Each structure stands twice: as structure tokens, then as C-alpha cells.
Structure 1
Amino acid sequence: MQRTLIRIGPRQVVGFCLALSAFELLTYMASDLIMPAMLSVTEEFQADVRHVPNAFNLYLLGGVCLQWLLGPMSDHWGRRRLLLIGCAAFAAACAAAFATRSIEVFNALRLIQGMGLGFVVAVSYPALQEVFCEADAVRLMALLGNIALLSPLLGPMLGSVLLEWLTWRELFLALGIAAVLVWLGLYACMPETVGVIRRDGQQQARVAFSMRQIRQRYLALLGNPRFLGASLALGLMSLPLIAWIGLAPLLLIQGLGLTPLTYGLWQIPIFSAVIVGNLILNRLLVTHSLSRLIQLGLWPFCLGLLALIGCAMQGLGLTATVASLALYAVGLGISNAALYRLALFCSDDSKGLVSAMVGMISIAAMGIGGSIIAAIGGGTRLEFFALWAALGGLMCLPLLLWFLQDAKTAFAAPE
């Protein structure tokens, strides 16, 4: 996978991909590593347990709130500079959690830490698309997704083990130190992709930074029904998985009385299934169009969510619920990276701005949907979670089916 379009050497390519994947992993680890300790956090601050899903949703909200600005800023000043700033801010917010003394300050820092996710989506993803050609970019997006999924896969279990020797405050301090090391890697290896002539002769030109023009460009995107449908579908497709991450500590540790380590072990089948789906995507990319891959992924996606509804109706318990989520997760892994690429190229506007809007819409759908599921009792009983999460995920189907009706979608992205 060395068909890069920017003029950089093989070592820099490897270093760039490793640093980018490490930063993405850390932005997720900052959430998932601490999930087994969230009940301890609320107990230490003498706060209500509702802050467990609230802190997670604030993290997602942080990923949304700056993306509208980060995309256009990176189009004008460059991706490299913005990502370095974002990584530094993320490191500082993680380190600051070590000294927090109230749940309000803790939640505020969760919001700031979540902004690191916004830098990943609005700045690093467009850079990746500009460095590599289409097929390699989709493969790397899937592989980066696998690396990011190591966080919810290993994060709860690793957090449970580390909490035997460290406090949750020391975990955040360790995350801050790791982010500093990633910053050094990005500084050394990340190329600038804006204003640089690529090997194919094309150039991602710098775009003037004007708030009036930015507003007009965002309004144009909101007036693009294909783009809007794909972005909303991205968020709704991931909603059951996001809701599970936020509510699993309440459902498994508080509701079923499992230990934090056992809670971590129950995450393995679900997130391993997403990785399996991404690996299937990587194998099928050679012979299938992106729209066809999404169609194939919808089979396990829908079967898993329908099985989840059956678990809710019949009260089949934890094993059946996790098995249904795993089947759904295979379909999500097959289709997610392909749908992101198609959404990104639904518009000819600069990819920093388009990626920011994709991220804002999809993450907002996840955060709002997760909050609604928590508010209507999704964290109180496993059956309630299974029912509401499945219904939320299935809401993406009308959008996806309408989006895929146009056969030209398969050729929306340039080679």
C-alpha cells in the first residue's frame, strides 16, 4: 500500500500512518479506558450515576462542537498545523483530569478531551484521503477503524486491570503523557497536504477563510439531500454500538453485578466482530464497488438488529444480546468506511469542510440518540436497551436505501 499521491518517502508514510492511528486510538482510549472506573468517579465526587452515560455523551458532543470550524481552518492554514494544535490540547486536557476535584470540572474536561475526536475527523481524515488514492484510502480508513476499535475492545478490560495498580486520575495522566509522544510523531512524520501538488498533478488548493463564505458553504451542504442522508445514516448505523459503550457499565456492573474485568471481557465479541467486518471489507474492495459493499453489509447489520429486538421481546439475556450485537457489528464493519468515502465525495467542496460536516452530523446523531436511549430507560434493563438500540439503528434503512438507489453513487469519488 505505497501508492501515495503526496511526495513523501516510505518511512514517512509509515510514520504518518502510525502517528495518525495512535492519535485516533488515544482519543477513544480517553473514553473507554476509564469506563470501568466511572462508578468510582461518581462515588468519589458524590454524584448521581446518571453522570456515567452523561460523561460519555459529553465526550461525543466535544467531538462535534468544533468540527464546523476545524475543517475550514485546515483548508486555509493546512492540516498539519491544526492537527498538532489539537493533539497538544488533548494532551493538556487529559493531564488536567489528574487534579480535578468536582464532577462538573470532570465533565467539562470530558468535553474538551472529546474535541480531540473532532480533530481526528475534520483534519486527519481529509489528510489521509489526500495522501492516498481511493482504494488505499478506503483500506486505510478500515484499518484505522480496526485500530480505533482496539480501544472499546481492550480499553474496558485493560482499564480494569490497570485500576488494580493505578487510580483513575493516574490513568488520565498516562494518557496525557502518551499524547505528548504522539505529538512528537506527528511533528516528525505528518506531511502538509493543502497547497501541495500531488504526484497525479492535482492540488488541494488553500481556501480563503471567510465566515460568510463558510456559512454559505455549510448551508449548501445542508441543501444537498444525498450528502445529508449519507451523513445521518452514518450516525444512525453506529448508534447501537455507541449506546452500548455508554450504557454497558450500568447494565453489566450495576444491573447484573458483574466485576469490571468480566464487563471488559463481554466487550470482546462485539468489537472483534467489527474488526472482522473491516477485514471482509478489505478483501472485497478489489472486486466490488463501494455501494455494493454497503448493500452486502446491510444483511448482517439488519439480521443482528432484528435478533436484538427478539432478545428484548423474549428476555433472552446477556449472551443472546451480545451475540446479536456481534452480528450487527459485522455488517457495520463492512459498510462504515465505504459509506464515509461516498458521503465525503457527495460534494465537490473542500474535503476539510465536508469531512467536518460529515462528522458533526454523524456524531450528533450518535450523541443525541444515545442520550435519548439513556433517558427512556436503556440503562436500567438489558431488554430496554436491546429494543431501543435496535430501533435506533434500523432508522438508517430508509436513508441508506434511498441513497443507494442512484447507481452513480458508486462512481462519485474520483479514482
Structure 2
Amino acid sequence: MQRTLINIGPRQVAGFCLALTAFELLTYMASDVIMPAMLDVTTDLEADARHVPHAFNLYLLGGVCLQWLLGPLSDQFGRRPLLLIGSALFGVSCAAAFSTDSIEAFNLLRLLQGMGLGFVVAVSYPALQEVFCEADAVRLMALLGNVALLSPLLGPLLGILLLEWLSWREIFLLLGCTAALVWLGLLLWMPETVGVERRDGQQTPRVPFSWRLTCRRYGALLGNPRFLCASLALGLMSLPLITWIGLAPLLLVRVLEMPPLEYGLWQIPVFSAVIAGNLILDRLLQTHSLTQLIQLALWPFCLGLLFLAACALLGAGLGPVVASLSLYAVGLGMSNSAVYRLALFSSDDSKGLVSALTGMISIAVMGFGGSLIAAIGGGSRLEYFAIWAAFGGLMCLPMVYRLLQTTTSDVASPQ
């Protein structure tokens, strides 16, 4: 059983973890399950196919829009009410897509749906860190990452199967109904972690919201080199994977003319590799500090991206590209939760605000980076995707190096 810092029973712990996992999975699933139908969406709404990656990137950017505000608000009013509001907003915007009649309205709803991702990052992640002890929190973050990765792993395949019986509009309605059930689970089982006395006699204090104070706190975080390096590294490290998710429908279905089922099957090696990396992280946590884990993870991470660049230069086919992405994905799975933990505890400020800015920076890097790669032709040829994705991922190395240099051993070591 996980060691909790607040006084809640085993049943509530299990219900909270289950509801939180379901909400995170649903926010990712809303993106990935619809990807096989995106060409149908653009055809039905009489829009250009270029909206396929745009809709995905808008979903990511939606996760950034409110995070700067959600973190400080949850520090004052608590994590529980904010997450309930976020899950309700997500469910309503999914259900509203059922009746949309233009690509502009569809893209706006994708932006609103993506805001649910912002609530996950800015509100639920700090709550998880405040409920559980450090080692358990890192493990649970990695396990949540595994569950979230079931979405891009199984989401396209599930979307293909659902399209046999449902239209893309009905899929969104189904997502909205499922979100209502998740909201009920959060209402029943999510504990409040702000202003509650913990078993160690301490508590996460409520921080009154002030525009001036919030801007000053954000400014102080942006002046923190360790925080900035960790947040930028999080975004750049995930950029190749995010770009693959956004451009795979164009590259595989449109350019390589694969049937949707084959497109879904080609996702399995990449996301299985990320899950494998997370499982390796869980095994190594007992014997390695977080900085040591990141250093180990850089080997498969960098080798995978260098092989990906070589695939582009040599004109290799889809198999070598996916194999290179999979090797990179192992390193990403090993390092992502550890880098997030270092970002969150790089400052003594409230974790709601720190998590919000971490999510804003990392998701903005992924969203703008993915849009840029799509704009310069990453979805037109496999070679273009490979070279730009490899270049974007390797750009994280200076930030990771600086992070490892400035992280003290007492912060990095698991307790």
C-alpha cells in the first residue's frame, strides 16, 4: 500500500487513484481516439486536410491557456473544487462536438477540450504529490504515465473499431458521457490536500490569490535557472513523440496509403517502448537517485534520436524510423517523471503554481514545436519528419546538462 501523507482510508486512496487515472486517460483519449477519424472530420466539415495536425496542436495549446491561473487558484480554493470544474468543462466541450457544423467551431472545441489537460497538469499532479510520500509519488507518476500512454497506444485502434459502429460525432458524445462518470468518481473520492493537516504535522497552506503577487511569483520562477531548464527540457524531450502522434495520420494513411488498422498497429512499438521505460524507472528508483536515472536514460534517448536522423539522411523506410523512435521512447519513459519531479521541487513556492508554469512551458514547447514541424513539411515525407523530430529532441541536451549540474544531491535522492 502507498504511504500517504494525509489521513484517508485505503478505499478512498484506491478510489482517488482510479478516478484521477480515468480523468487523465480520458483527456488523452479525447485526442488519440479521434485521430483515425480526422480525415473524415475534415471531409464532413468541408475543410482542408492541413487541419488534421492543427486540431491536435490546438488541443495541446488548450492545455496551456489556463494553467497559469489554475495553479494559483487551486492554492487558494483547493485542488478538489478546481478539478471538479475542469472535468465538467472537459465533458461539456466533448459532448458539444456532436453538433458542430464548421471546422472553426470544431477547432475551438478542441482548444476547450485541451483545457482539461491543463487541469490534469496544474491541479491533479500537485494533489498527487501532496497525498503521497516522494518515492511513492514518483512511482505513481510513472504508472499514471503508463496509463496515459495506453491512449496513444490503444486509442487509434479503439477509434478504428468505434468507427465501424459510430460516427466521429457519436464518439465525442460517448467521451462526454464517460467524462460525466469520471466527474462523479472525483466528487466521491478526491480528498482535499490544501489547508489539511498531514500525518507529519505539516500542511500545504492556502495562498490568497493576488494578481500582483502571482506575477511576482511567476517572475521569480522564470528567473530560476534550474526550474527553467527542467521545464524546457520536458517539452523538448517529448517533442518527437508528440510530433509523431500529430503527423502519423498524414504520414501513414495519406502519404504511405496505409489502411487505418495498419496505421494503428504501427503505433504499438513506440508507445510500448515508453511504457517499458517507465517500468525500468520503477525498478531503478530503489537504487538510483533521480539524477542518476536521467543520466542512464540519456543513452537510449540520444541513440534513438541519432538513429532517427540517420534514417532521414539515408532515406530509410518506415521500419527503421519506428525502431529508432522506439529506442528514443525507452529513454523518454525512464526520464520524464524524474525530470518533472526535479522541476516541481526546484523552487520552494507552492506546488500548484510551480506545476502550472511547468506545464505551460512544456506543453507550449510541444505545441509550437509540433506546429512548426508540420508547417515546414514534416507531414509530407517521412524523411522530413525524422530529421526535424530528431533535431527538436536533441535540443533538450543543453537544458538537461544544466539541470543535472545545478541539481543538489539532497533534492535528487529519493527518500
Settle same-fold status: TM greater than 0.5: yes
Cross-structure match for 1:155: 155
CA distance in 1, matches of 2:412, 2:89: 35
Question: Aligned partners of 1:412 and 1:82: how far apart in 2?
Answer: 30
Q: Distance in 2 between matches of 1:6 and 1:342?
A: 23
| 55-64 vs 401-410, which moves further | 401-410
Matched, 1:200 2:204: no
Q: Is the contact made by 1:306 and 1:390 (CA closer than 8 Å) also made in structure 2?
A: yes
Give secondary structure in 2 for the equivalent of 1:405: helix
Distance (Å, rounded) in 2 between the aligned partners of 1:270 and 1:191: 35
* Equivalent residue letter for 1:385: F
Q: Which amino acid aligns with 1:88?
A: A
Alignment partners' CA distance in 2, 1:233 and 1:410: 21
Amino acid at match of 1:403: L
In structure 2, what is the equivalent of residue 408 of structure 1? 408
Q: Distance in 1 between matches of 2:239 and 2:2?
A: 34
Deviation at 1:407, TM superposition (A): 5.2
Distance 1:319 1:233 in 2: 28
Cα deviation code 1:119-148 (max 9, x no counterpart): 000000000000000000000000000000
CA separation of 1:38 and 1:410: change in aligned 2, threshold 3 A = farther
The residue type paired with residue 200 of structure 1 is D
Give the Cα–Cα distance (whole angstroms) in 1 for the partners of residues 342 and 252 of structure 2: 37
What do the CA deviations read for 1:221-250 (whole angstroms, capped 9, x no partner)? 001111001100000000000000000000
Pairs within 5 Å for 1:181-192? 181-192=181-192
Native 8 Å contact 1:290 1:410 kept in 2: no
Structure 2 partner of 1:294:
294
Query: Which residue number corresponds to residue 172 of structure 2?
Result: 172
Identify the residue that residue 316 of structure 1 maps to in structure 2. 316
Q: Name 1:340's counterpart in structure 2.
A: 340
Secondary structure, counterpart of 1:112 in structure 2 = helix
Give, as a single letter, the amino acid of the residue that structure 1 aligns with 2:32.
Answer: D
**Within 1, Cα distance between the matches of 2:407 and 2:46?**
56
Other-structure match for 2:377: 377
Aligned to 2:109: 109
CA deviations 1:83-140 (Å, max 9, x no partner) are: 0000001000000000000000000000000000000000000000000000000000
Which residue matches 2:81? 81
Q: How does 1:231-310 map to 2 (within 5 A)?
A: 231-310=231-310
TM-aligned CA deviation for residue 410 of structure 1: 5.3
* Match in the other structure for 1:7: 7
Kept after mapping to 2: 8 A contact 1:280/1:334: yes
Q: What does residue range 334-373 of structure 1 map to in structure 2 within 5 Å?
A: 334-373=334-373
Q: Which residue of 2 aligns with 1:60?
A: 60
Asked if residue 95 in structure 1 is aligned to residue 95 in structure 2, the reply is: yes
**% identical equivalent positions:** 76
Q: How much has 1:2 moved relative to structure 2?
A: 2.2
Contact 2:226 2:407 in 1 (8 A): no
Q: What residue number does 2:37 align with?
A: 37
Q: Would the alpha carbon gap of residues 384 and 409 (structure 1) be closer, same or farther in structure 2, given more than 3 Å must change?
A: farther
Aligned partners of 2:23 and 2:179 also within 8 Å: yes
The aligned amino acid for 2:65 is C
Question: 1:291·1:410 contact (CA, 8 Å) conserved in 2?
Answer: no
Structure 1 counterpart of 2:136: 136
User: How well do the aligned residues superpose, as a CA RMSD in angstroms?
Assistant: 0.9
1:144 and 1:374, CA in 2 relative to 1: closer, same or farther beyond 3 A? same
Are the equivalent residues in 2 in contact too, given 1:345–1:413 (CA < 8 A)? no
Counterpart Cα distance in 2 of 1:303 and 1:106: 39
Q: Supply the AA of the counterpart residue of 2:84.
A: L
Residue identity matched to 1:260: P
CA distance in 2, matches of 1:412, 1:379: 39
**Structure 1 unmatched ranges of 5 or more:** none
1:316 to partner: Cα distance? 1.0
Which residue identity is paired with 1:268? I
Task: Quote how far apart the aligned CAs of 1:411 are.
Answer: 2.0
Could you tell me how far apart the structure 1 residues matched to 2:51 and 2:281 are?
A: 37
The one-letter code sitting in structure 1 at the alignment partner of 2:343 is A
Instruction: In structure 2, give the amino acid aligned to 1:208.
Output: P
Aligned length: 415
Measure, in 2, the Cα distance between the counterparts of 1:128 and 1:241.
25
* Alignment partners' CA distance in 2, 1:215 and 1:102: 37
Question: One-letter code of the match for 1:230?
Answer: A
**Once superposed, which parts of structure 1, at least 4 consecutive aligned residues long, lie more than 6 Å away?**
none
Partner secondary structure for residue 408 of structure 2: helix
Instruction: Please tell me whether the aligned partners of residues 301 and 331 of structure 1 are also in contact (alpha carbons under 8 angstroms).
Output: yes
Give the counterpart letter for 2:389 in structure 1.
A
Q: CA 1:409–1:340 in structure 2 vs 1: closer, same or farther (change >3 Å)?
A: farther
Aligned partners of 1:16 and 1:189 also within 8 Å = yes
Distance in 1 of aligned mates of 2:173 and 2:410: 45
Paired residue for 1:214? 214
Q: Note if contact 2:289-2:413 (Cα within 8 Å) is conserved in structure 1.
A: no
Give the aligned partner of residue 327 of structure 1.
Answer: 327
Distance across 1 between alignment mates of 2:74 and 2:261: 41
2 CA distance for matches of 1:295 and 1:48?
43
In the alignment, the residues of structure 2 paired with residue 174 and residue 242 of structure 1 have an alpha-carbon distance, to the nearest angstrom, of 25
1:130·1:193 contact (CA, 8 Å) conserved in 2?
Answer: yes
Aligned-partner Cα distance in 1 for 2:296–2:391 = 20
Give the AA of the match of 2:35.
Answer: M
Question: Aligned partners of 1:91 and 1:142: how far apart in 2?
Answer: 25
Question: How has the CA–CA distance of structure 1 residues 404 and 144 changed in structure 2, closer, same or farther, with 3 Å as cutoff?
Answer: same
User: Which residue identity lines up with residue 136 of structure 2 in the other structure?
Assistant: D
2:231–2:362 contact (8 Å) kept in structure 1 = yes
Q: TM-score, normalised by structure 1?
A: 0.99
Distance 1:65 1:407, change over 3 A: closer
* Displacement after TM superposition at 1:406 (Å): 3.2
